[in-house]
Chain A
Amino acid sequence: MPDSDAVTSSPFAIRHASKRYGEVVALDDLSLQFATGTTTALIGSSGSGKSTVLRLLLGLEWPDRGQVLIDGRVLQPAHTLPLRRRVGYVIQEGGLFPHLTALGNLALLPQQLGWHLERIRDRAQELATLTHLPHAVLARYPAELSGGQRQRVALMRALMADPDALLLDEPLGALDPVVRHELQDDLQRIFERLGKTVILVTHDLAEAAWFAERLVLMRRGAVLQDGRFEDLRDRPADDFVRRFVQAPRRLPQIMR
C-alpha cells in the first residue's frame, strides 16, 4: 500500500473504504488513487462497486468505514459543493433536465457562479465546436435530441466551468454501435486535448483499453488487478481476470 506522502500527491484518493447496502457489499476495504492528468478506467461486471467509487469521490455517498481524500484532505459533507464544481460528472443517460433546453442545461452551474449570459453563450459555442455538436442544437430540448447529441450535451455541461477532473459513468452505455464508435473517437480526442484527470466507468474491456492507459478491474468491491491492458491480458492476477479478458467474442471467432 502506498504511504501517506504518495496519497497526498494525488488529487483524488480513497483509503480503506468499505460500504454496504444492507447485505450487499459495494466496497470492501478499497484503496485507490488517481494521478493528475491521467485517464483511468474502472471495469468489472455490474455490482462490482465501480460506480460507487465515482459517487464516493463526488460526496454523493459516504463510506461506512475509511475515507475519501481530495488533495490530501479528508472529504467532509461541508466540502462537497466546491468539490462538485471542480469535477464534471456524466452518467449513462446523460441526466439532462427535460424542462430546460440544451443551453439551459449548460447554463445552470455558470449562472450559479455568476457568469453573465454572453460568457455562458460563448463558452457553450466553444464546447459545441469541441464536441462536434451543431450550434443550432443548443436551442432544443433534450426530448428533441438524438442519443448521441444528448451525451455530447451532457459532456459539455460537465465541462462548462472548466473542471479539474471528469468522472464518467458508462457515458456511452445506451448508444447504438455506430454512434458509440464515433463518440469514442471524439471523447478520446477531447481527453487528450484537455489533459484532465479522467475516471471512466465501463463494463466494456475494449472501450476501457481504447481510452485509458490504466485499467482497474474490480470484483465485489475490491480491486483484482490494477495495470495496463497488456498486464491484464498477459499476466492476469487470477482466473477471473483471465476469463474477463477473454470473454468478448470477436467476429472472426463467430464466423469460423
Chain B
Amino acid sequence: MPKYEKITSAAMLEVDGLAKRLGAFSISGVSFTVDEGEYFVLLGASGTGKTVLLETLTGVIRSDSGRVILAGRDITRERMQRRRLGMVFQDQALFPHMSVRRNIAYGPASSGMKHSDIEKLVELLASETGIGHLLDRSPATLSGGEAQRAALARALAAGPECLLLDEPLSSLDSGARVEIRTLLKKLNRGGMTMLHITHDYEEAAALATKIGIMENGTVVQVDTPQRILTHPGSEFIARFVGIRNVYRGWLRRESDGTTVFESDAEAPFRLEALCEAGEGEATAVVRSEAVTLSAYRPDTSARNLFEGTVSEIVPARRGVEVTVDAGAAIVAIVTERSVESLGLERGSRVFASIKASAVKIIEG
C-alpha cells in the first residue's frame, strides 16, 4: 500500500504540469486547481485538447508527465477503476442492457456494497435527480434530459470525490438544458466538486464559480467568470468568449407581464428582458455591441437605461471597449469617433442603454 502525503488544503483536484502527446493532439503544461465544493468550468474551442485532458484524468490514456492529485491522493498512475473521479459523458453512456435502476446500482455493486444499502442509495439518488419514477425503464426509452439525470445519479452512486462532466448539456434540447443546469447547480451546492468541460461560454457563464480557458493544449487563464469575461487575458479569449456582460441573478415576472432580471451584485441592478423564460435563477448576458452610450439622458425606446461612471477605456481589436460602472459593470464597444464626440474619459458620467430584446437570459 503506497503512502501518500496528505495535502492539507481545500484543493480537491490538482492538475500539475500534465502533458500528453497523442498523434495530432497534444496537451502540455496543463495546471489548474479545483477547490473542494467549487464548480470549475474548463472552456475551450474544439481541438484544444479537451478530450485528451479528459482521458488523461480518467485514466483511459497515460500522461507523459505531470501529476494529478485527487483529495490528496496521487492518481496519476492509478488504475481507472480506482480513481474515484466520476465521469459523466456527453452521450450519457448508460448501459443499454440494464434498467435505470441497475445502471445506478452498478458502481456500488462493483465495490461490494450490501444489497439493501444499494437499494436505499439508488432510491435516494433517483429522488435527488428527479428520476424516481423511471427506475425500471430501459435507458433507450428515456429522453435526453432523463438520460443525463440517470447518468448523473449513476456517477454519484459510485461515491466520487469529484464529478467530471464532459459537455453534459450539448446533446440536450433547450428545455432539458435548463433542467440539467439547475440540477448541476443543486448538486454543486450540496457540496459536490465539479469539473465541467465545454466549448460553450453560456454554460460556463451560467454555472462556473471558476473558469479555466484552454487554448492550444494548455490552460492559459484561470479566474472567476466575471473576471474572465470582463478581463479576458488575451485577444483569443476575448474573441472566443465573445461576451463581456454577464450577470447572475433572478428572473421575475411583473404584474404587467414584463420579465425583469435582478442581479445579486452589491448595488441593485435590474434589467428588463424580452423572453418567455419562467421565474427563477438565471444568468443575463448582453453583448457589448448591444450597449449604446450617450452623454445626455437619451429619449429612446430601450427599456434599460443606466447612468454611471466610465471606469475603463481600452482599445479593442475593432473599436474601443468602454466599461461603465452603474451598480454592475457594463461593457460597451464603441468606435473611436464616438469616444471623441462624447468626450469620454475615465470618470465621465454617461448613460448606457440596452434594449430589452438584447438581453439574453440563460435559465437555471
A in complex with B: no
